[in-house]
Structure 1
Amino acid sequence: MNKIVLLLIIICLFLGCRPNMDNSQKTISQTKTDWIYHVDSLLMPFWMSDDALGNPRGNYPAYRYPDGRAIDPANLDYKFLVPEYQQFYMDNTDSLRRDFIRVKSRQVYGYCIAFHLTGNEEYLVNAKLGLDYLIKKGVYDDGSAVTFWDKEGNANPRILQRNTQDLAYALLGPSTYYYLTRDPEILNMVLDVNRFVWKEYYENSELKENTKLMAFVREDFESDNTQQKELLAPLDQLNAYLLLMARIVPDSLSEEFLGKASILAHSMKDNFYSEDYNIFWGRLNKKGMDGHTDFAHSIKTFWMIHVTAKLTDDKALENFAREGAKKLLETAFIKENGSWASKYIDESLELDRSAFAWHNAELDQMAATLSFEDTSYYSKYLEHTYPYFEKYMIDYENKGTYWARLEDGEVVKLGFRSGWHMANFHDLEHALIGYLSTANYYGDDIELHFAFDQNINPENEKVKPYHYDAEVREMNKSEFKNLLLSNLSKTKVIFDRIN
């Protein structure tokens, strides 16, 4: 009998068997039901109030207090902000009165992904209202994308003063809506802006380090200048829309999207990567362990390079990303509490053990991505970091997530929750990839909800689980109840394991 057991163990190890645990053995956020609860009950209540949805609905407010109330800049006592934000917002700027498009676009993304996971059509209605508002207000009319409306409602800044990060995130909401619906008008809109960005910020860029760089801005605007060599310029083009679109666009556009993705991925590797520290410099003009030189931006860069390499069958690039990410995950993981360090404090390589919600999300997402190839990444990291996130990053009183906690556990308070670079993008992407990785690890069905345009036959579409590949096992179509979605078909897709 013992020999038989030993033989079975050897066979299981050889075949890479995955755990077969019942729900009673699983900890927090380790079942599909846990992740749906995480979305419906812990994250989305903060984003479903009247204050969150705006007036009119879809005109989401850029700024909200931690309790969810929308901030009225005209009646704001800015002294409630912490000192660094007082200075940021009030010195020579009307920033709190600026209505940032990137915030609204990110919120569209959040509603799209909440629907994608739960099938609750109310989320999709709110996404559509937000996207329709941006389109009707002319955000994309000039073939670019407006960065913000000033306090008089004027679109700003001038077209070549817009930075590539703002342009990328203006496309985050539309591209995710396209991922769910395959609406051809949205595809054309995204394509127009992408081609504008590529021509003006890459082809016309004169910036170079080891190889050519994508420009951050083409004309100076406030603190942004044409000589900045920013990691964000290529990174957020890939992260916000290009790679998601590259996987699903019609064949006639695949070569264009994949070619651009490959160029940007190699540019990040060749110019921003530090072999000495195994991180990516946030800015080449001023290298240092500050600004965007942190573990979150670095792991996201490895992730986007890894996704690009998989799509383009670039084995050398894939190996670079996998090995670099593996090493960085080992560096950042704090085994004592199941969290992730945020960065190196300085060149001494001492770790900053503050826990930022979006940093933890990005590091989790790379570990999850590698767990699709090697399940040990789940047991080594995610069985610890997922419970940490849910226990310490969630604001159980107001819902949604905190910005960060210091090493001693103190919550970092900014005075507002939503803002020019926040919204619910990272929280919902984390939930989606958490769901995918947990279902995959435990061998459960992967069920995702789409809303295909009724003129589209989903059988002829490239239907994928986000940035990953899996065979479609089953599609079940039904009708939406809300008339706003009458041109869409609700479709539940069941995927086999991600490979």
Structure 2
Amino acid sequence: TDTISRLVYGFASAFLLTGNDRYLEAAEKGTEYLRKHMRFADAGEDICYWYHAIDVKEDGGEQKILASEFGDDYDALPCYEQIYALAGPVQTYRVTGDPAIYEDARRTINLFNRFYKDHGPNGGFYSHIDPIELSAHTEALGHNRARKNWNSVGDHAPAYLINLWLATGEKQYADFLEYTFDTICAHFPDYDNSPFVNERFHDDWSKDQAWGWQQNRAVVGHNLKIAWNLMRMHSLRGKDTYKDLAEKIAATIPDHGCDRQRGGWYDVVERVLEPGQKFHRYAWHDRKAWWQQEQGILAYLILHGVLKNDDHLRYAREGTAFYNAFFLDTDSGGVYFNVLSNGEPYALGTERGKGSHSMAGYHSFELAYLASVYTNLLIRQEPMDFFFKPKPGGFKDGLLRVQPDILPVGAVRITDVWIDGVVYADFDADKLTVRLPQGHGDIKVRVRLTPSSVRFSADLLSVDGGTAKLALIGTMTPHDVKYLDEAVGGAIEQGARALDMDAEGLASLCSEGLRYLVFRKQKAGSDFRICVRNASEAVAAAIGMSEFDEEIELV
């Protein structure tokens, strides 16, 4: 189930970025398949839970596999499988507002709150429940009885809960997120004993350092994942405890979990140094897993985007360079599961595959989506377009919430909205919401988000009757000519014979930009017209002093 869900997440994210209908079609069909084949809805209990898998018989029938068949979770219902069952559908819900998806999420959260949550004074969520009694205390659970871990406590946030809050704005989901991160801050840090957090616990939050393969070992990526998600949550409900722990992890982890010579983040290491040791011993190998690189890149990107610490940006770029150089299969496509410490692909056993249960595209898609959000909107200060296709009657309050991730309040605003290619004005720029037309049918919504401190943007708004309307915003430098070229080139491809550019928001125009416009006019022919409206004194003076005012009309 969670394998399909992770893939669905990727298709939905791809549609958000591109508006390609094929991606949304795949996401919706995958979501419907999950609902039809993998979901058990218990109307009496008002819950639903998701089968581990199905076996398709030769006659086309199905054998439902309720309890997990993975070794660590055998014959139990692990919390993380139920969590990741929601990852793809909820990301699809952000695009469509499909009420059926919301209902599945609501009922699954009921399952978490009723059967996985510790309602005693200790709090938190149990890692496993048994498939019959739905209890975390059944003896049959063995080494998973009454246990709590990172996955059961923290994975709610990145897998589905942040996205559900982004789509709905409902207080109950913000409260759930706050509960999650308060729990992490209260119990996971263990800096008196180790530079890594503790990840596994007994019922009373005492450390479980004898469980299965983990023992007293650290998963480097889980530390990075905590830092990344704490910074997201800090922008929703800011607390010093969130920021302080995120910064503590960011400052500590490079010296203990990073390959400072070749780049990249290691997998599993011993949490504690033995006498005489200077480096944390690898648990089994020095390989590097693709998903842990994602956590490091996203953690340091958002840390820099919010806190503006240049060390964070350096770690983000180093991690990105290692990932792009060694994890991407540029010959056959896809992402490698593991590479050796020197970056050579590790292609043996189950790690040879690119579509395994734990991969299924989720982390690589999430990295591409959120790295573009953090890089463009928070770091490079460049606008981005996002696409939505709300179902008729989908979002129950008629509001389309378009914030791409939990970003600092006021960091971005809506500057333009189009519905089916037509400019649309009913939106709240600062609250990042679009009021959908009443009684709308099947529509596609394109939304442009612009950083509040945007450096420069050139936006092609429309092409009508051979005239292209563009909006120029910010301070144009030689570096930004490529954005102007993208907008002008797009206009000419659509048959434009005139450029009507609104420069009201343009603070300055560099000489390279002026020369570019004159050159494009030359190549387009003598009947091609360029006019600039609402130019500031500085922009008008730049055009006049360049003596290009005969080629560029000021209106």
Q: TM above 0.5, one fold?
A: yes
Aligned position for 2:300: 367
Letter of the structure 1 residue corresponding to residue 52 of structure 2: T
Aligned position for 1:156: 65
From 462, 481, 488, the equivalent of 2:401 is: 462
- Give the Cα separation in 1 of the matches to 2:452 and 2:87: 24
From 97, 100, 103, the equivalent of 1:182 is: 97
Aligned position for 1:425: 362
Aligned position for 1:409: 343
Aligned position for 1:200: 115
Aligned position for 1:256: 172
Letter of the structure 2 residue corresponding to residue 355 of structure 1: K
- Give the Cα separation in 2 of the matches to 1:379 and 1:302: 14
Aligned pairs for 1:137-148 (under 5 A) are: 137=37, 139-142=39-42, 143-148=48-53
Letter of the structure 1 residue corresponding to residue 124 of structure 2: L
Q: 1:408 to 1:158 in 2, by over 3 A?
A: closer
- Give the Cα separation in 2 of the matches to 1:472 and 1:459: 17
- Give the Cα separation in 2 of the matches to 1:420 and 1:307: 27
Of the two structures, which has the highest relative contact order with CA contacts closer than 8 Å and spacing of 6 or more?
Answer: 1
Aligned position for 2:505: none
Q: 1:330 to 1:493 in 2, by over 3 A?
A: farther
CA drift of 1:175 comes to 0.7
Aligned position for 2:197: 280
CA drift of 1:264 comes to 1.9
Aligned position for 2:253: 328
Aligned position for 1:241: 160
Query: What SS is found at the alignment partner of 1:154?
Result: strand
Q: 1:130 to 1:456 in 2, by over 3 A?
A: closer
Q: 1:319 to 1:148 in 2, by over 3 A?
A: same
- Give the Cα separation in 2 of the matches to 1:105 and 1:249: 20
Q: In the comparison of the two structures, how many residue pairs are matched? A: 386
Aligned position for 1:472: 414
Aligned position for 2:28: 128
* Range with greater deviation from structure 2 (150-159 or 128-137): 150-159
CA drift of 1:151 comes to 5.8
Normalised TM-score (structure 1): 0.70
Contact 1:272–1:284 (Cα < 8 Å) also in 2: no
Query: What SS is found at the alignment partner of 1:489?
Result: coil
Normalised TM-score (structure 2): 0.63
- Give the Cα separation in 2 of the matches to 1:428 and 1:115: 11
From 468, 477, 493, the equivalent of 2:447 is: 493
Query: What SS is found at the alignment partner of 1:293?
Result: strand
Aligned position for 1:337: 262
Q: 1:497 to 1:288 in 2, by over 3 A?
A: farther
CA drift of 1:445 comes to 1.2
- Give the Cα separation in 1 of the matches to 2:258 and 2:353: 29
Letter of the structure 1 residue corresponding to residue 380 of structure 2: Y
- Give the Cα separation in 1 of the matches to 2:102 and 2:247: 31
Q: 1:147 to 1:111 in 2, by over 3 A?
A: same
Letter of the structure 1 residue corresponding to residue 450 of structure 2: D
Q: 2:234 matched to 1:305?
A: no
- Give the Cα separation in 1 of the matches to 2:253 and 2:398: 40
- Give the Cα separation in 2 of the matches to 1:302 and 1:234: 15
Q: Once the two structures are aligned, what percentage of the paired residues are identical?
A: 17
Aligned position for 1:213: 124
CA drift of 1:377 comes to 4.8
Alpha-carbon deviations, 1:338-357, whole Å to 9, x = none?
A: 42333434522436553211
Contact 2:95–2:388 (Cα < 8 Å) also in 1: yes
Query: What SS is found at the alignment partner of 1:344?
Result: strand
RMSD, aligned α-carbons:
2.9
Contact 1:247–1:311 (Cα < 8 Å) also in 2: no
CA drift of 1:305 comes to 2.9
Query: What SS is found at the alignment partner of 1:274?
Result: coil
Contact 2:52–2:66 (Cα < 8 Å) also in 1: yes
Query: What SS is found at the alignment partner of 1:185?
Result: helix
Contact 1:262–1:309 (Cα < 8 Å) also in 2: no
- Give the Cα separation in 2 of the matches to 1:371 and 1:461: 29
CA drift of 1:360 comes to 0.5
Letter of the structure 2 residue corresponding to residue 476 of structure 1: W
Contact 2:337–2:352 (Cα < 8 Å) also in 1: no
Aligned position for 2:280: 350
Q: 1:269 to 1:346 in 2, by over 3 A?
A: closer
Q: 1:378 to 1:314 in 2, by over 3 A?
A: closer
* Range with greater deviation from structure 2 (441-450 or 233-242): 441-450
* Range with greater deviation from structure 2 (178-187 or 406-415): 406-415
Aligned position for 1:173: 88
CA drift of 1:110 comes to 0.7
- Give the Cα separation in 2 of the matches to 1:256 and 1:418: 35
Give the structure with the larger strand fraction. Answer: 2
Aligned position for 2:9: 109
CA drift of 1:472 comes to 1.7
Contact 1:371–1:437 (Cα < 8 Å) also in 2: no
- Give the Cα separation in 1 of the matches to 2:99 and 2:166: 16
Q: 1:408 to 1:319 in 2, by over 3 A?
A: closer
Contact 1:213–1:267 (Cα < 8 Å) also in 2: yes
- Give the Cα separation in 2 of the matches to 1:282 and 1:188: 31
- Give the Cα separation in 2 of the matches to 1:215 and 1:181: 32
Letter of the structure 2 residue corresponding to residue 146 of structure 1: Y
- Give the Cα separation in 2 of the matches to 1:203 and 1:247: 26
Contact 2:300–2:313 (Cα < 8 Å) also in 1: no
Letter of the structure 1 residue corresponding to residue 87 of structure 2: L
Letter of the structure 1 residue corresponding to residue 357 of structure 2: W
Letter of the structure 2 residue corresponding to residue 364 of structure 1: I
- Give the Cα separation in 2 of the matches to 1:435 and 1:496: 13
